[in-house]
Structure 1
Amino acid sequence: MRFHADLHMHSKYARACSRDSDLEQLAAWARRKGVTLMGTGDFTHPAWYGRLRECLVPAEPGLFRLRDDLERAVTGGLPPGLAAGPLRFMLSVEVAAVYRRGGRTRKIHHLVYVPGFDAAEAFNRAAGRAGDLASDGRPVLAMDSRDLLEVVLGCGDGAHLVPAHVWTPWFGLFGSKSGFDTVEECFGDLTGHVFALETGLSSDPAMNRRVSGLDRYRLVSYSDAHSPPRIGRETTVFETDLDYFAVLRALRTGDGHAGSVEFFPEGGRYHLDGHRRCKVRLEPHETRELGGVCPVCGRKLTVGVLSRVEDLADRPEDARPEDAAGFRALVPLLEIVGEVLGVGAGSKRVRTEVDRLTAALGPELVILEETPLGDIAACSPPLAEAVGRLRRGEVSRDPGYDGEYGAIRVSGPGGLDRRDGSDGRDQAGRRSAACEGESDGDA
């Protein structure tokens, strides 16, 4: 079975996250997007953990589904094409390990996965001794990353850890502010139990493959969604049975790991270097020429993902190992429709149009990846033009830096033919607003 998995997201109990991030709305948006397997997020938070225990029931080995009455409530409000097919949950949480090592304070985010509630309870007991689990859905633990991994491994068969958004300056394993230069430095004698790395929004697999030391790791991409509409902006594609342990085997061996759907890395919040307050954005070579100092205020620049990749790279930009999984870069449908209509992606008009399109054509990821352009044109000619450009990689890129999202646009030199797909009339409006961003510093 081929399916999209989004295994990094947050509930309403995590800081800077939407109050709409409850199970029902997360499930509805996963179906709209075409995500089959999604993480629960935040299982360490007592209130969210209680909600998960109340609302989820066992499905395939290690996976869960919504309770029947909740599933009916979710699918009853969706068009038939979005309500069909399975939707499964994997117990997941992102934790922040904060500790001193090598004379520096380390702040590293990790994703933890377990195949059942008994294992989740075991992890929560240990994590509760290192931090206040009720304070945030993404808890801060006073625990070395190596020791955190040891705790995870002790929670039973199948429990595993994946370093999160590994290049993010502030909280990534390789981040410029508090990270390491190698996975081995971070995990020491337990490095062999790490087999996958999350690339984050500001990098893609091609960038990561410039570092030969990462060849042994499966590269995964997930949304880190802080609100339901952000689900599926990055996914990992699997060709396995819908089964926790089948997914785990694919990550360990590569067999069944079929690649990923990526954010364009320039659209991430930390792709280039810079200083947001001074509106300074720099390429890596410019940062080096300036000695890492902002030319406006004289303070240290935030060194972004591209710079860190270049620091650690031992291969040219076009390098690709023979067995590397493929990937495709996409732009969320809300953003594309906002650009087509000339209004902000968060507007009611955009949401209404996306609802119309997905009701007619199916889930978002299917529209962006597979639906024939002729079928899209029957609903919206300008959208068909935009999706065609996206599939060909004909986009303009305005890179993000120091916490500011970049902008990826699908309009060509002459713009898009702004006609409403339902009646063909011209639509006047402002240029699409930039993607709304989360505020936790993740890439």
Structure 2
Amino acid sequence: MVFLADLHVHSKYSRATSRDLDLEHLFWWTARKGIRVVGTGDCVHPVWLSEIKDKLVPEGNGLFRLKPDIEADILQTLPAACRHPVSFMLSTEISTIYKKGDKTRKIHHLIYAADLAAVDRLATALAGIGNIASDGRPILGLDSRNLLEIALDSGPDSYLVPAHIWTPWFAALGSRSGFDSIEECYGDLADHIFAVETGLSSDPAMNWRVSSLDRFRLTSNSDAHSPSKLGREATRFGCTPDYFAIRRALETGDGYVGTVEFFPEEGKYHQDGHRACKVRLTPAETIALGGLCPVCGHPVTVGVAHRVEALADRAEDEAPPPPTAGTTSSMVPLPEILSEIIGVGVASKAVTRAYDRTLAALGPELTVLEEQPIEELATAHPLLGEAVARLRAGRVIRQAGYDGEYGVIRLFEDGELDRGAKKAGPLFA
């Protein structure tokens, strides 16, 4: 069975997240996106963990489902094409901040567990180190190596994946606070790491330029801070949707298919720059400027593309996929495509209406973007068919993100869209 998993999300108990990030909305949006397995996020937060225990039931395979009565009520609110099973995986993101090698390290980590007893042990251990109740993604003064040890001790099937490994400020390989290798970050326990997360600002091809990453499976996830952002990146598996099969797929490759990615330029840390001065720079420009903003003279934020270039031991045209590689597809979220076609903001009512109608007519978002025949999409709306055809061919216009500012990926040139034709048809009425 081939399915998609999004295993890096948050709850409403994390900072800067939507109040809608509860289990019911996670289920609803996961089904609409076409995802089969979703992380719970924040599973060591005491209040969120209590909700997990109250509303989820074990499937007997390391994953969990909503209680039948809750699930049945939600399914009735979904279009028929989006009514499919959704399983939850116990997960959390932990932020560690500590001093090592005369440098302050700020690293984010994803931890997964197969049962609630393991989560209880993990929560108890972490509560003895710092406050795990103030933020769904707790910040702990703990060496990454020691966090990994605690994760491994929580249960025989628990595992840790370094999160968004290239993000400048909070990542294992980040330019501002990371290390130069996963081995440096996790020390003598690094052999227990078998997968890493690419993050929104890098794609597998960028990671393949660094040979020390060859041994890891690459995962992609949304890091959603609101339920509508689920599935903007995901990992594809070809195994039974259960915890142990997913873990085995990442560790051995048996059942690992690949990833669904942002175009990395859309990530908010792809290029170098200084957002306050609206300055975006290539790595070469940053080097020529001595790392300083040409407007104000302050240091710029070195982005992912630059950081990859600094650690790469292969040129772009000399980075073949390693044996651990899977297939990769790049996508633009459907609301962004509809926004471009209609000519209004992505959060507008017109886009919401068009999105809802598209799902009702054609099925879940990722099915529309990746699997639905172009002819069917064009029948629903000609511009939607053309947009998705261009997307699948990689024919996109890219404006790179930098210093916390998301990039923009467009499918049509300025002036190309017919202002009358774009509103034709029932989807956009």
Same fold (TM over 0.5): yes
Task: Indicate if the aligned counterparts of 1:395 and 1:412 stay in contact, CA closer than 8 A.
Answer: no
Q: How far, CA to CA, are the matches of 1:141 and 1:415 in structure 2?
A: 51
Q: Do the aligned partners of residues 423 and 197 (structure 1) sit closer, same or farther apart at CA in structure 2, a change above 3 Å counting?
A: closer
What residue number does 1:230 align with? 229
Residues 45-79 of structure 1, C-alpha deviation per residue, up to 9 Å, x if partnerless?
A: 11111100000001141000010111011101011
Q: Do the aligned partners of residues 423 and 70 (structure 1) sit closer, same or farther apart at CA in structure 2, a change above 3 Å counting?
A: closer
Task: Indicate if the aligned counterparts of 1:170 and 1:177 stay in contact, CA closer than 8 A.
Answer: yes
Q: How far, CA to CA, are the matches of 1:68 and 1:218 in structure 2?
A: 34
What residue number does 1:254 align with? 253
Task: Indicate if the aligned counterparts of 2:11 and 2:41 stay in contact, CA closer than 8 A.
Answer: yes
Task: Indicate if the aligned counterparts of 2:31 and 2:364 stay in contact, CA closer than 8 A.
Answer: yes
Question: Equivalent pairs: percent with the same residue?
Answer: 56
Q: How far, CA to CA, are the matches of 2:374 and 2:110 in structure 1?
A: 37
Query: Displacement of 1:151 after TM fit?
Result: 0.3
What residue number does 2:302 align with? 303
Query: Displacement of 1:415 after TM fit?
Result: 2.2
Regions of 4+ moved over 6 Å: none
Counterpart mapping for 1:42-441 below 5 A: 42-83=42-83, 85-318=84-317, 319-323=319-323, 324-412=325-413, 414-417=415-418, 418-423=421-426
Which stretch shifts more, 233-242 or 290-299? 290-299
Which stretch shifts more, 292-301 or 213-222? 292-301
Q: How far, CA to CA, are the matches of 1:383 and 1:284 in structure 2?
A: 35
Residues 10-63 of structure 1, C-alpha deviation per residue, up to 9 Å, x if partnerless?
A: 111100000111111111000000000000000111111110000000114100
Q: How far, CA to CA, are the matches of 1:350 and 1:280 in structure 2?
A: 30
What residue number does 1:434 align with? none
What residue number does 2:21 align with? 21
Give the match's secondary structure for 1:327: strand
Q: How far, CA to CA, are the matches of 2:79 and 2:242 in structure 1?
A: 27
Give the match's secondary structure for 2:161: strand
Q: How far, CA to CA, are the matches of 2:189 and 2:422 in structure 1?
A: 57
Read off the aligned partner of 2:174 and give its amino acid letter: G
Q: How far, CA to CA, are the matches of 2:165 and 2:186 in structure 1?
A: 14
Residues 381-409 of structure 1, C-alpha deviation per residue, up to 9 Å, x if partnerless?
A: 11111111111111100000000000001
CA RMSD across the alignment = 1.3
Q: How far, CA to CA, are the matches of 2:103 and 2:392 in structure 1?
A: 44
Q: Do the aligned partners of residues 175 and 9 (structure 1) sit closer, same or farther apart at CA in structure 2, a change above 3 Å counting?
A: same
What residue number does 1:9 align with? 9
Q: Do the aligned partners of residues 52 and 423 (structure 1) sit closer, same or farther apart at CA in structure 2, a change above 3 Å counting?
A: closer
Query: Displacement of 1:321 after TM fit?
Result: 2.8
Q: What is the number of residues matched between the two proteins?
A: 425
Task: Indicate if the aligned counterparts of 2:11 and 2:22 stay in contact, CA closer than 8 A.
Answer: yes
* Structure 1 unpaired stretches of 5+: 428-443
Read off the aligned partner of 2:37 and give its amino acid letter: L
Query: Displacement of 1:336 after TM fit?
Result: 0.4
Give the match's secondary structure for 2:98: strand
Residues 63-107 of structure 1, C-alpha deviation per residue, up to 9 Å, x if partnerless?
A: 000101110111010111111x32100000001011110011111
Q: How far, CA to CA, are the matches of 1:284 and 1:80 in structure 2?
A: 48
* Structure 2 unpaired stretches of 5+: none
Read off the aligned partner of 2:338 and give its amino acid letter: V
Q: How far, CA to CA, are the matches of 2:320 and 2:139 in structure 1?
A: 36
Task: Indicate if the aligned counterparts of 2:96 and 2:142 stay in contact, CA closer than 8 A.
Answer: yes
Residues 261-297 of structure 1, C-alpha deviation per residue, up to 9 Å, x if partnerless?
A: 0001000010000111111110001111111111111
Task: Indicate if the aligned counterparts of 2:97 and 2:106 stay in contact, CA closer than 8 A.
Answer: yes
Query: Displacement of 1:413 after TM fit?
Result: 5.8
Normalised TM-score (structure 2): 0.97
Q: How far, CA to CA, are the matches of 1:379 and 1:321 in structure 2?
A: 37
